[in-house]
């Protein structure tokens, strides 16, 4: 599979009164065509910021984003416009990401209008097709977002993202605000669409069960860094980083009599304004060593493309 998207040493700092928030700090990864890369972590780890950087909703402080091998920062206006058609995003909250004063047909057709695809009449037909694709009855064309439930609103967001036939979609917590029975419908829809439309996803979520379900590969983030990345089965069966281990152990699972290791982490996530020196996880790590407080571990291949940034793993 060829590489579709590549992030190289991405950095995003937000200036605030007290200094700089290190939201994303030297993050690199690549996404192959047709696969889903899951980006998982807790609030403030930089996963959503990473997603937004990839679609250039916000500009990186430094680093490069390559799309089909081309640096999107170096593209001129016309090239960037073309790239924008191929790269779309679905947001978490389908209420705040839809215009409350536009009927949903208009919202779904807006990207077509902006890119001047077809006549007004033709676009309406295309919107009907898009609506059916995502399981919305075209009868709902003139409904407004507030008239729909969360699940159907999210389908509108998906239809809009599909309107320009993109190759790559950033899904930013697309099911987090939905009830479980509806969440399952949307997850299945995203998977069906991926197959039918040959889509590549970056799937950002805090929910490990969901990420595992939908992703081929997973990257775990903590305080702006990727601490581990591997194929989905490897990450779950051979979890290497102490943070990933704790994260997995913390997921409550709806089953009886589960005998499992309980790893309760101490304290909370340190401030991203002044992240700890050395390994950023060392302040909470149950397996920390002396070196962890002073030297930052690099993300290194532990075999078979399973990357991990931890001194303990390499016996340093």
Structure token digits, residue 198:
């040959």
Q: In the complex with another protein, which residue's Cβ is closer, 284 or 311?
A: 284
Residue 167 C-beta: closest distance to another protein, Å: 26
Q: Applying CB under 8 A, does 213 fall inside the site for another protein? A: yes
Q: How far is CA 121 from CA 14, 67, 160, 182, 268, in A?
A: 44, 33, 17, 32, 55
The backbone torsions φ and ψ at residue 36, rounded to the nearest 5 degrees and listed phi first, read -115, 120
Residue in 114, 250, 274, 316 binding another protein, rule: CB under 8 A:
250
Instruction: Choose which of 210, 221, 230, 279 interacts with another protein (CB under 8 A).
Output: 210
304 near another protein (CB under 8 A): no
With binding defined as CB under 8 A, does residue 132 bind another protein? no
User: Using CB under 8 A as the criterion, what x/- string covers residues 170-199 for binding another protein?
Assistant: ---------xxxxxxx-xx-----------
Residue 37 or 210 having the CB closest to another protein: 210
Q: Which is nearer to another protein, 156 or 269 (CB)?
A: 269
**Which is closer to another protein, CB of 108 or CB of 210?**
210
Please check whether residue 104 is in contact with residue 145, taking contact to mean a CB–CB distance below 8 angstroms.
yes
If 0-12 CB within 10 Å is exposed, 13-18 middle and 19+ buried, where does residue 177 land? middle
Residue ranges that bind another protein, judged by CB under 8 A: 42-43, 149, 151-152, 179-185, 187-188, 206, 208-210, 212-214, 233, 236, 246-256, 258, 262, 264-265, 268-269
């Amino acid at each position: 599979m060829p590489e579709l998207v590549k992030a190289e040493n991405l950095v995003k700092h937000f200036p605030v009164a007290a200094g700089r928030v290190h939201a994303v700090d030297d993050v690199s990864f690549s996404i192959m065509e047709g696969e889903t890369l899951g980006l998982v972590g807790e609030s403030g780890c930089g996963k959503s910021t990473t997603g937004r950087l990839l679609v250039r909703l916000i500009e990186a402080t430094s680093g490069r984003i390559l799309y089909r091998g081309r640096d999107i920062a170096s593209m001129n206006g016309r090239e960037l416009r073309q790239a924008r058609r191929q790269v779309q995003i679905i947001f978490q909250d389908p209420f705040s990401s839809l215009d409350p004063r536009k009927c949903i047909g208009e919202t779904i057709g807006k990207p077509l209008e902006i890119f001047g695809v077809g006549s007004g009449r033709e676009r309406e037909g295309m919107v009907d097709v898009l609506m059916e694709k995502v399981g919305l009855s075209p009868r709902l064309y003139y409904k407004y977002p507030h008239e729909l439930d969360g699940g159907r609103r999210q389908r509108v967001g998906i239809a809009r993202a599909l309107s320009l036939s993109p190759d790559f979609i950033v899904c930013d917590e697309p099911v987090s605000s939905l009830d479980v029975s509806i969440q399952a419908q949307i997850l299945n829809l995203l998977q069906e669409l991926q197959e039918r439309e040959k889509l590549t996803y970056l799937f950002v979520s805090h929910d490990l069960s969901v990420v595992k379900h939908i992703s081929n590969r997973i990257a775990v983030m903590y305080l702006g860094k990727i601490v581990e990345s591997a194929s989905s089965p490897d990450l779950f069966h051979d979890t290497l980083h102490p943070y990933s281990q704790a994260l997995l152990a913390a997921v409550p699972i709806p089953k009886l009599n589960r005998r499992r290791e309980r790893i309760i982490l101490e304290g909370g996530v340190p401030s991203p304004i002044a992240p700890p020196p050395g390994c950023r996880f060392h302040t909470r790590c149950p397996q920390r060593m002396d070196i962890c407080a002073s030297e930052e571990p690099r993300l290194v291949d532990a075999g078979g493309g399973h990357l991990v940034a931890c001194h303990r793993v390499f016996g340093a």
